[in-house]
Amino acid sequence: MAFDLGKIKRNWTLFLDRDGVINYENPGTYVRNWEEFKFYPGAPENIAFFNTRFQRVLLATNQRGITRGVMTLQDLEHIHEQMLSSVEQKGGRIDKIYFCLDMDADSPCRKPNPGMALQAALDFPEIDLTRSVMVGNNISDMEFGRNAGMVTVFLRTTSPEMAFPHESVDAHYRDLNEFAQALQKS
């Protein structure tokens, strides 16, 4: 049975993956610059709505393209500045962006390892990871959520054929819009 979104209270925290969740993936490569960054329709507005339902909205994203030399840290920071400003223009707020540059699967910050969630819990003492939701489009996002003790929400954006139930997934939706609508109704 799917997780009951009605359990989510105002003191919960929302963790969002980036690519495939709030913006389109760039097929075959990374989102290397702001020109290549395309929000899914309604994503900034969805984030503004999430701010009314969660105490914190955070981003947790693996970005090994920098370590692979495909882009620079400056490129990533520029994308994030522009992204935050676009979200703000729609009345939304992302409290902090966590990104992991490491390529090594053993790196504590690289999803599915829970380092970015543990760091967020240190940065924001009010965060309780057992009252947090992780939204992502890959199973590594779901395992990251599991490893940190969170509720996991899978978006089928880039894997419409995914079979459910899945042991790492508590609920699944077509995209961020559908998740936001379900939350609104809960």
Interacting residues with Mg ion (CB under 5 A): 17, 19-20, 137
- Which residue minimizes CB distance to Mg ion? 20
Vertex 179, ends 173 and 184: CA angle to 5°? 145
Q: How far apart are the C-alpha atoms of 50 and 92, rounded to whole Å?
A: 8
Beta carbon of residue 99, minimum distance to Mg ion (angstroms, whole number):
12
Residue carrying the six token digits 């981003």:
59
Based on CB atoms, which residue is closest to Mg ion, 19 or 175?
19
Q: What are phi and psi of 119, to 5 degrees?
A: -65, -40
Based on CB atoms, which residue is closest to Mg ion, 54 or 154?
154
Beta carbon of residue 170, minimum distance to Mg ion (angstroms, whole number):
17
Based on CB atoms, which residue is closest to Mg ion, 20 or 92?
20
Residue positions annotated with a catalytic role? 17, 19
Beta carbon of residue 44, minimum distance to Mg ion (angstroms, whole number):
17
Helix (H, G, I), strand (E, B) or coil at 174: coil
Q: How far apart are the C-alpha atoms of 86 and 92, rounded to whole Å?
A: 9
